[in-house]
Amino acid sequence: MLITTENLVKKYMMGESEIRALDGVSVSIAEGEMTAVVGASGSGKSTLMNMLGCLDKPDSGEYFLNGENVSRLPKDRLAGIRNRYIGFIFQSFNLLPRMSALENVELPMQYAGKRDARGVAERALETVGLAGRMRHEPGKMSGGERQRVAVARALVNDPALILADEPTGNLDSKTGDEIMALLESLNAQGRTIVIVTHDADIAARCGRSIRMKDGRVVS
Amino acid sequence: MLFLTIIKVALKSLVANKLRSFLAMLGIIIGVGSVIVMLSIGAGAQKDIMNRISMMGTNLLSIRPMQSSQRGVSTGSSRQNLTLEDAEAIVERVDSIAAVSPVASNNAQLKYFNKNTRASVIGCAVTYPYIGNFEVEHGRFFRESEEESMARVVVLGSETASELGISGKQLGERIQIRGISFEVVGIMKEKGGAGRFSQDDSALVPYTVAMRILFGMDYLSNIDVRAADGADLTEVETDIATLLRSRHKIINPENDDFRVFNQADIIQTATEVTDTFTMLLGGIAAISLLVGGIGIMNIMLVTVTERTKEIGIRKAIGARDRDILNQFLIESLIMSGVGGALGAMAGIATSEIISRTSTFSTSVSPGSVALALAFSAAVGVFFGYYPAARAARLDPIDCLYYE
Ligand SMILES: Nc1ncnc2c1ncn2[C@@H]1O[C@H](COP(=O)(O)OP(=O)(O)OP(=O)(O)O)[C@@H](O)[C@H]1O
Ligand SMILES: [Mg+2]
């Protein structure tokens, strides 16, 4: 199993009352799977994704990534894991302004201390079909193009796991389809992909769905 | 590579917010600029003084009366202990001496028709111009015969002459010093300098006249000596001191009632004064540089808040805390560095303008520019650290969902 969680709990205090964003989540995802996470708004999907992406730590429970318990690692180790093993794709693209597409895609490799980042970034942008837009800044690109840049950025360090939180949420259905096709082709190459979505069609295109409700996995 | 990208992005955001960056850097620009200007004025003053002192010649010694430190209560009479006989003894008994001039000086009122001025009237010997490297511009210096016959003749300093409205054409006219009539035989060439380094505001008369007729002194203000070229100055100094000690019946040198000054002493006193002055000015300017640092810190805090989301994104794709810290430190260093460079240019230009348009002379040393730049870089790192450390500590989730 690439991902195994045991009884993950994440609590938030809202004034007097306690919200359990995650209330004992145990899931397993095998390598090469393409999994959808679905559920109503506020059911804890994003919280779970952040946990799986090592951006957040659980209040209790364990998270094994590729067999290693990462739930209580120090911050710098987690940064290294995010950098090398995980690629993120967000609903709002989250590209850096004032940097070209190419520079955005190079960044994860620079944090990894890799050389020839330029060449790898160029190839990644070609893969997502942006060969002609490399020098553009995100502000001058369409939503679909921006999300492609984000996909390229998620790819460059050759991560085992790609996490996408509503990647098509800000796109029209045609562009959304294109991004999905891109993710499907990555999955076909053997990459494990987890997608949060509200779209039943997209969920249907994934091999498996995890349904959440009130911080629990219901199916 | 990461380093290069950081610099590039930092420069881009500097340029993107031109006005804001300029205002943030203004403190540093003014700080660095004023440090450079102040140090250049100090260095210029120092150079000036050195030039003037060295114009007097390096072989010059001056013996001045001192109150002996052992005597306790000081009395006016203790300053009346250098005599004409002391000066004569130095000529006769000390080797390697080129010339000696007794000096008896005091301030006095000078009058030429309706014009009045106060000047330092220096009674000296004919050797005086030779000892101090002074030159006569118009007319002549007084002669030895005039010295012996106590002739009422005067040679005016350039400034004194112009105050009285006397030029080369009025030579031979008579002026009044303390009500006594003197013939103007010459005017000295301008030497420049201010205060005790200037001789331009003086009037030179034979020492015989100064002592017996003008001031009624039987003692000397000082004795000026020019050592022979190539003489060992320390040896001459020691010889003079030994001679005067035996003449004044002093056994312990601690009880000396005189002191022999050489050029090094005079230069040292002058340097001490200008050094203090320079440090004071530079220190005040450095404070403004420090204040400039606060401007940078302020803008960096704003920048960190504005770019919270960016920090979250960078952390999500693998930036460690220290990567974020370095990034913001480099940005603040660039800001203070660019500010420092602009300030250095402004400072160099300003001191050039000052030296052209005012009486101050300035001298920008590469050392002072380097010092100001290093200081501004240090200010950038120091004041950039807190905002950068704050950015580095932020939680990635909080940043990513920051609106
Ligand atoms: N930083 C936070 N502080 C307080 N409560 C939070 C915080 N983050 C999430 N929550 C709460 O945790 C619960 C789960 O939030 P989460 O973002 O995981 O939902 P979601 O399933 O992703 O919803 P959506 O489909 O709207 O994105 C919500 O009730 C939310 O209000
Ligand atoms: Mg969500």
- Tell me the per-residue pLDDT of B340-376, one tens digit each, with 9 for 90 and over: 999 999 999 999 999 898 878 888 889 889 988 898 8
* Greater pLDDT, B96 or B3: B96
Residue type, A58: P
pLDDT reading at A27 higher than 50: yes
| DSSP category for residue B214 | I
Mean pLDDT, range A45-59, rounded to an integer: 95
Reference B182, options B109, B244, B132, B246; nearest CA is B109
The answer to whether the pTM exceeds 0.80 is: no
- Confidence label for B190 from pLDDT (cuts 50, 70 and 90): confident
Q: So what's the ipTM on this one?
A: 0.95
Distance (Å, rounded) from C-alpha A200 to C-alpha A204?
Answer: 6
Distance (Å, rounded) from C-alpha B127 to C-alpha B108?
Answer: 23
What dihedral do alpha carbons B200, B202, B208, B210 form, nearest 10°? -170
Distance (Å, rounded) from C-alpha B362 to C-alpha B77?
Answer: 43
Reference B384, options B327, B345, B346, B339; nearest CA is B327
In Å, how far are A83, A155, A179, B16 from B313, measured between CA atoms?
12, 15, 20, 21
Reference B116, options B189, B196, B178; nearest CA is B178
pLDDT reading at B46 higher than 90: no
pLDDT reading at B74 higher than 60: no
Touching check for B273 and chain A: CB below 8 Å?
Answer: no
What dihedral do alpha carbons B215, B219, B224, B228 form, nearest 10°? 130
Distance (Å, rounded) from C-alpha B335 to C-alpha A70?
Answer: 39
The structure tokens listed for B219 are 């003692």
Distance (Å, rounded) from C-alpha B241 to C-alpha B257?
Answer: 10
Q: Whose CA is nearest to atom 17 of ligand 1?
A: A46
With H, G, I as helix, E, B as strand and everything else as coil, classify residue B360.
coil
Determine the distance in angstroms separating the CA of A94 from the nearest CA of chain B, rounded to an integer. Answer: 6
* Record: contact A107-B397, CB cut-off 8 A: no
- Confidence label for B69 from pLDDT (cuts 50, 70 and 90): low
Reference B203, options B123, B115, B114; nearest CA is B123
pLDDT in tens, A159-195: 999 999 999 999 999 999 999 999 999 999 999 999 9
Mean pLDDT, range A106-113, rounded to an integer: 93
Give me the DSSP letters along A150-187.
Answer: HHHHHHTT--SEEEEESTTTTS-HHHHHHHHHHHHHHH
Report whether B143 contacts B205 (CB < 8 A): no
Distance (Å, rounded) from C-alpha B238 to C-alpha A37?
Answer: 100
Determine the distance in angstroms separating the CA of A113 from the nearest CA of chain B, rounded to an integer. Answer: 8
Residue type, A171: L
Touching check for B314 and chain A: CB below 8 Å?
Answer: yes
pLDDT reading at B78 higher than 60: no
* Record: contact A107-B400, CB cut-off 8 A: no
pLDDT reading at B70 higher than 70: no
